[in-house]
Structure 1
Amino acid sequence: MDCLLRSRMSSTPRVSQPSTKRGYQLTSQDMPTQHNSSLYEGSFPEVDAASVRTLRHAGALIFGKTTTAQFAAVHVGPKTRNPHDPLRTPGGSSTGSGAVVADFQAPLALGTQTGGSMIRPASFNGIYGLKPTWNSVSREGSKIYSLTFDTLGWFARCVDDLALLADVFGIQDDKKEEHATVFEGVKGARFAICKTVVWPFAGPGTQEALSKAAALLEAHGAIVEEVDLPPEFDNLPEWHRVVLHCEGGTAFLPEYRVGKDHINQVLVDHVENINGFTRKEHLEAFDGMAALRPKFDEIAGRYAAVITPSALHTPVLNVPGFKGAHDMPIGVSLVAPRYRDRHLLDVGKAVGEIFEAEGGWETKL
């Protein structure tokens, strides 16, 4: 059964079907945690990550671990394949987590996102993926890359399953929010499209999917507006790069000291700061992003959801339904203000029904 049933026997939601966790990245007491690195070969931490403990307590059956790129940071391994075409990648870095859900091996899987490590595999595998508001779920027991960006999320084949884990992890919106948009269905709802400064780098499949998404929403009675973010948002890609580089240097210094030759050159470059980023540049990037978060919340709060890339701690939901090149799936990302995760799931469920029915993608699995 794809959509799991919530137990009404307890105040704590019970998970009655198996889930997997991001392989070799989240610790567990009964499986190795090797980060896809020879430095951690044979490592058994003998303790569960906080997210795994929470799932076990809710009754989840931990089916196993899936593969990830090295330290969930660089394109080193694994040889995981896309279930829709074994000659293609399932995307990373939550590589195996996306593939195992798409391939019906498990209904749910955990992943983490620092850049696009949740929404990319969700899109490539034609499934739903939720990166909740930053720091909504404890990252204890997960190897850190960037404290500013690392966020634990999960994959599923339907929004109801995503919502089930949101219950388990205690994710709730405020009951009464002034000026918050109330979603009562797609018809009459307002959606925004923010192409942002990175739009020219989006592939033709992504651009076509976004255009088709807008057309489908309008056909179902939604109001779709193209919104230009203020000029200061153009700095986000560079600020993200600076913070990631600087915080990556801190995160991987221990591995660098123990076995520099056993970690990817990208991580070595972080530690050695080959780009020469100064503390001043790091602070400017960190403070610049912090200043934009409430501004984006205010803009996004005017709409049911915003279709745009995200680097501002906001919740992001990949919604499948579209077909890209080579008959492969492609999704679009819906974004909401911080701590409006349940609202985003409500919107994503209604939008997903439209996209999956009319977007053009049909799984053969």
Structure 2
Amino acid sequence: MARPAFAGAMVQGALCNVRAPWRALRRHRFQHKVTARTMNGFSSYSAQSSAFQTGRSSPSRLLEDALALIAKEDDRVGAFVALNVDGARRAAAESTSRWLAGKPLSPLDGVLVGVKDIIETRDMPTGQGSPMWEGFATNRDAASVQALREAGAVILGKTATTEFASTELYAKTTNPHDSKRTPGGSSSGSAAAVGAGFLPLALGSQVVGSTVRPASYCGCFGYKPTFGALNRSGSYDHLSQSCVGILGATLEDVWLCARAIASRVGGDPGHAGLSGPDELPAAQAPRKLVVLETDGWRKSTSGAREAFAAARERMSGQGIELADRNSDPKIDAFEGLIAGALDLTWIMMAWEFRWPLATYEQRAASQVSAAMLARLRQAEAMTQRDYADALERRVRIRQAFADLMTNYDGAVTLAATGAAPASFETTGHPGFNVPASLLGVPAVSLPVLEDEGMPLGLQLIGRANGDAELFAMARRICEQR
């Protein structure tokens, strides 16, 4: 796929006003020596408000810096499938004026945001990672995009996704830290854009592991909210585990982005939406955490296991009580319940994908991947009772987790089985990610580990509707590293 054309003059510079960490990242990134720890040096976008108000920096300046970096590096990374440079410049100029007048719309006024290409934007096509839908324009914003525009965000471009946010990567997107490795999927371009330093924030989605795993591979923060917490209207992911995901360079910006969406457009219909303070929740150490192996453990690399063991030792040293299947029979029983989480999710996804895949096959079967057609065949072999049985099993598993959480503050595990695979035939195994999606609970990937000299995320999983509590725990763990 051809890379986006860039309009107007480009200038050299860094994306972030706090330049040293970004420069350090760029200095080492292309030598494959960046580590996840580098990411913790980034300053949050909202921390730049004083510089914006005095004119020492501005959203317009940050945009031009970002465009210069994108022009230089995105042919290699391939994060974007579309850019609206003129529209972004207008929005950034308006934001700059508001900051100088002391009237920003929100702490994120002027922040650059990328949008996964299954989420509608009024000024760019929504191609869903499929040749069938390339160039398709809806001329409206999804709820999440509308909310961010109301908060003053600058929507810069659409980011690459796998086909229908599910299977094959139509665009060629690479890991920003090693071009021979996958960025993960399905929020491939969003994770790559943030990991490359192109953007502070990007929207993704998650049904299985499409936000948390790419965040792990690309060295950024990734957040999957409680199911229904963020309004996904206008996003072409109608599945029963789908959530708007957020990828960001800092934990604070991720939270501010989530609250900007929820406070303006709420949650999914029938859901009140994400609650909590508008600012990043105060750090709060978890008292007791469940250590989950999941199906991912047996597929994890030795380096990932060693990194997790070290993280576990650090958390224990900080006074956090950790329990696993060997110390608590209830955890062992729960591990048994989620042992088939991925297969169970595939069953539900197949049925839920029967429409629209049947219409796509009728329209242009040659433009639908073999993997998606196989999913359609699976759905056609199912009965309504099969789907109902799967839903009932999911309800039982969710109740078991809720019961387990009466004695614990959350769970901790890896965000991926190891470093990003050195292959473009896979976006990585979702074994560590699917439990939180199946459970409908919040999860966050923290870029604090490494494997093979590449980023690796530590995943925290919270209680349903305990997103603010989860961020408080995540903040404490990041601060005490």
TM-score by length of 1: 0.87
Judge conservation of contact 1:209–1:331 (CA < 8 Å) in 2.
Answer: no
Q: Give, in angstroms, the shift of residue 184 of structure 1.
A: 6.6
Q: Is 160-169 or 106-115 further displaced after alignment?
A: 160-169
Structure 2 residue 138 is the aligned partner of structure 1 residue 138 = no
- Counterpart of 1:33? 126
Judge conservation of contact 1:183–1:343 (CA < 8 Å) in 2.
Answer: no
Distance 1:103 1:17 in 2: 19
- Counterpart of 1:48? 141
Distance 1:228 1:350, change over 3 A: same
Judge conservation of contact 1:304–1:347 (CA < 8 Å) in 2.
Answer: no
Q: Give, in angstroms, the shift of residue 198 of structure 1.
A: 4.3
Q: How does 1:297-308 map to 2 (within 5 A)?
A: 297-308=402-413
Distance 1:280 1:202, change over 3 A: farther
Distance 2:478 2:406 in 1: 20
Distance 2:162 2:295 in 1: 27
Distance 1:151 1:205, change over 3 A: farther
* More helix as a share of residues: 2
Distance 1:94 1:275 in 2: 28
Where 2:199 maps in the other structure, the secondary structure is coil
Structure 2 residue 465 is the aligned partner of structure 1 residue 339 = yes
Question: Which residue of 254, 257, 276 corresponds with 2:362?
Answer: 257
Distance 2:383 2:103 in 1: 52
Give CA deviations for 1:303-348 in whole Å, capped at 9, x if unaligned.
Answer: 33201442211101001111112x1111121101110101111111
Where 1:52 maps in the other structure, the secondary structure is helix
Give CA deviations for 1:122-165 in whole Å, capped at 9, x if unaligned.
Answer: 00011110000111112111112x52111101011211111101
Distance 1:50 1:351, change over 3 A: same
Structure 2 residue 264 is the aligned partner of structure 1 residue 160 = no
Give CA deviations for 1:74-115 in whole Å, capped at 9, x if unaligned.
Answer: 123321121111221111110110011111111110000111
- Counterpart of 2:378? 273
Distance 1:28 1:156, change over 3 A: same
- Counterpart of 2:448? 321
Structure 2 residue 208 is the aligned partner of structure 1 residue 115 = yes
Identity %, equivalent residues: 27
Q: Is 281-290 or 20-29 further displaced after alignment?
A: 20-29
Distance 1:84 1:228, change over 3 A: same
Distance 1:199 1:68 in 2: 26
Q: Is 342-351 or 295-304 further displaced after alignment?
A: 295-304
Structure 2 residue 46 is the aligned partner of structure 1 residue 5 = yes
- Counterpart of 1:360? none
- Counterpart of 2:153? 60
Distance 2:197 2:346 in 1: 35
Instruction: Give the partner amino acid of 2:459.
Output: S
TM-score by length of 2: 0.67
Instruction: Give the partner amino acid of 1:158.
Output: T
Structure 2 residue 150 is the aligned partner of structure 1 residue 150 = no
Distance 2:218 2:468 in 1: 23
Judge conservation of contact 1:22–1:68 (CA < 8 Å) in 2.
Answer: no
Distance 1:223 1:274, change over 3 A: closer
- Counterpart of 1:200? 298
Where 1:292 maps in the other structure, the secondary structure is helix
Q: Give, in angstroms, the shift of residue 174 of structure 1.
A: 7.4
Question: Which residue of 210, 218, 227 corresponds with 2:316?
Answer: 218
Judge conservation of contact 1:17–1:107 (CA < 8 Å) in 2.
Answer: no
Distance 1:63 1:102 in 2: 16
Q: Give, in angstroms, the shift of residue 301 of structure 1.
A: 4.4
Q: Is 127-136 or 38-47 further displaced after alignment?
A: 38-47
Judge conservation of contact 1:13–1:164 (CA < 8 Å) in 2.
Answer: no
Distance 2:352 2:250 in 1: 34
> Size of the alignment, in residue pairs?
346
Q: In structure 2, list runs of 5 or more residues that go unmatched.
A: 1-16, 18-42, 50-101, 263-272, 325-330, 414-431
Give CA deviations for 1:258-299 in whole Å, capped at 9, x if unaligned.
Answer: 111101112112223278333322211111101221321232
- Counterpart of 2:332? 228
Give CA deviations for 1:51-90 in whole Å, capped at 9, x if unaligned.
Answer: 1111101111112111111111112332112111122111
Distance 1:30 1:260 in 2: 29
Q: In structure 1, list runs of 5 or more residues that go unmatched.
A: 176-181, 358-365
Where 1:22 maps in the other structure, the secondary structure is strand
Distance 1:288 1:20 in 2: 38
Judge conservation of contact 2:230–2:274 (CA < 8 Å) in 1.
Answer: no
Instruction: Give the partner amino acid of 1:240.
Output: T
